[in-house]
Amino acid sequence: GVVYYLRERTVRGILLWNTWDQVNAARSLIAEPGPLGSRELVGRLPA
């Protein structure tokens, strides 16, 4: 599973549950500039 923590439409953190191969992708997503809404995040990191 994947849980996104957003502040003002910016990803501030990501909780990964049994998705060890997604750690680097999650770090890259956190580093992305600009606002992202929940609709843009769906499917970005496969659960």
Structure tokens at 24: 């680097």
Residue found by looking up tokens 């999650």 in the block: 26
Q: What is the pLDDT of residues 1-47, one digit of tens each?
A: 999 999 999 999 999 999 989 999 999 999 999 898 888 999 999 87
State the total domains in the chain.
Answer: 1
36 Cβ partners below 8 Å, 6+ apart?
A: 6, 9, 10, 11
From 32, 35, 2, 34, select the one nearest 17 (Cα to Cα): 2
H or E element in which residue 20 lies: none
Q: What pLDDT does residue 47 have?
A: 73
Does some domain include residue 19? yes
Does some domain include residue 46? no
Pick left, alpha or beta for residue 35 (phi over 0 → left; psi -120 to 50 → alpha; otherwise beta): beta
Q: What pLDDT does residue 10 have?
A: 92
